[in-house]
Amino acid sequence: GESVGLHLPTLSVQEGDNSIINCAYSNSASDYFIWYKQESGKGPQFIIDIRSNMDKRQGQRVTVLLNKTVKHLSLQIAATQPGDSAVYFCAESEGNNRLAFGKGNQVVVIP
Partner 1 sequence: DGGITQSPKYLFRKEGQNVTLSCEQNLNHDAMYWYRQDPGQGLRLIYYSQIVNDFQKGDIAEGYSVSREKKESFPLTVTSAQKNPTAFYLCASTKISSGANVLTFGAGSRLTVL
By CB under 8 A, is residue 104 in contact with partner 1? yes
By CB under 8 A, is residue 88 in contact with partner 1? no
Nearer to partner 1, 36 or 75 (CB): 36
70/98 Cα distance (integer angstroms)? 22
26/44 Cα distance (integer angstroms)? 22
Give the residue, chosen from 19, 25, 44, 75, that forms a contact with partner 1 under the rule CB under 8 A.
Answer: 44
By CB under 8 A, is residue 8 in contact with partner 1? yes
Residue 8 exposed, middle or buried by CB count within 10 Å (0-12, 13-18, 19+): middle
What minimum distance in Å lies between the beta carbon of 94 and partner 1? 10
By CB under 8 A, is residue 35 in contact with partner 1? no
Please give the full DSSP string across 13-36, using - where no structure is assigned: EETTS-EEEEEE---TT--EEEEE
Give the residue, chosen from 22, 63, 74, 93, that forms a contact with partner 1 under the rule CB under 8 A.
Answer: 93
Are residues 61 and 25 in contact, defined by beta-carbon separation less than 8 angstroms? no
Residues near partner 1 (CB under 8 A): 2-8, 31-32, 34, 36, 41-46, 49, 51, 89, 93, 95-96, 98-99, 101-104
